[in-house]
Amino acid sequence: MIDQLFFTYFFVFITFLMVIIMNVVKKNTIRVYAYFFQSLALVMLLSIQSFQQKSIELFIVTMVLFVVKTVAAPIMFMRIVRRSKLNISTSTFLNVPMTLGVLVLLCLFANSEVFSPLRVLLSQWSNISVFLIGGIFMSFFLTFNKKSALSQLIGVLSLENCIFVISRFLNIHELLFLEIGLLFDVLFWIIVGSIFATMIYKHYGTFDITRMQALKK
């Protein structure tokens, strides 16, 4: 039981840590790997829960999640990175020190009294609320701080991972078909996003969204 608690904390921390890494690294490949590890941590969290609850339904959801987030998404993103030779390319609107400063501020905000109602609901998990809420805000920041379309895709998916993580601690029990439906929505989103990223590269020869100036013209 102690081990399960330890691992729960550990995997929540990993999801949080990966958002920080995604925010500060420059290489797209590392960002994709960070997303992979974040998703894997989410899969592990769900595995622990399905084991604890002895729930076959949760185990099925975990398996689907594993396929969608740790297999399909990273493969698609790595293919985009390789095809467009984008290993070192992501610039940000804010430089690294400024980015770190914003991340600290977001964590302070996540730890503020504004979120006290949520901490009440998280009850026994309220001590990790800063990781849960902070991860959400930092993922949102990642989406709009990076100039690369691929990083924005990963930002949205990281935000979605963090929301999935927090939902696991809110004691929500949905029916299997609803959970699977949500995951299929995510899968289609990943496919659509990847197609779009490729279309951007085809038209602009880059993933840099600041180079997209056709609307202004």
Answer yes or no: are the C-beta atoms of 30 and 21 closer than 8 Å: yes
Please state the separation of Cα 183 from the chain's center in Å: 14
Of 55, 92, 143, 206, which lies in the binding site for other proteins, with binding defined by CB under 8 A? 143
Per CB under 8 A, 181 contacts other proteins: yes
Kindly indicate which of the ranges 16-24, 59-67, 69-77, 196-204 contains the residues binding other proteins, using the contact rule CB under 8 A: 196-204
Q: How many residues bind other proteins (CB under 8 A)?
A: 41
Kindly indicate which of the ranges 68-76, 81-89, 103-111, 150-158 contains the residues binding other proteins, using the contact rule CB under 8 A: 150-158
Per CB under 8 A, 124 contacts other proteins: no
Answer yes or no: are the C-beta atoms of 38 and 11 closer than 8 Å: no
Kindly indicate which of the ranges 20-28, 38-46, 104-112, 156-164 contains the residues binding other proteins, using the contact rule CB under 8 A: 156-164
Measured CA angle at 41 (ends 141, 156), to 5 deg: 25
- At a CB cut-off of 8 Å and minimum separation 6, what does 103 contact? 20, 23, 138, 141
Of 118, 138, 147, 154, which lies in the binding site for other proteins, with binding defined by CB under 8 A? 118
Q: Give the count of beta carbons closer than 10 Å to the beta carbon of residue 109.
A: 14
Per CB under 8 A, 204 contacts other proteins: yes
Minimum distance from CB of 19 to other proteins (Å)?
14
Q: What are the C-alpha distances in Å from 21 to residues 10, 27, 166? A: 16, 11, 20
Per CB under 8 A, 156 contacts other proteins: yes
Per CB under 8 A, 173 contacts other proteins: yes
DSSP three-state, residue 208: strand
For residues 57-73, b (16+ Cβ closer than 10 Å) or e, as one string?
A: bbbebbebbbebbbebb
Q: Which is nearer to other proteins, 2 or 172 (CB)?
A: 172
Per CB under 8 A, 54 contacts other proteins: no
Answer yes or no: are the C-beta atoms of 58 and 45 closer than 8 Å: no
Point out which residues bind other proteins (CB under 8 A): 117-118, 120-121, 136, 140, 143-144, 149, 152, 155-156, 159-160, 163, 166-167, 170-175, 178, 181-182, 185, 188-189, 192-193, 196, 199-200, 203-204, 209, 212, 214-215, 217
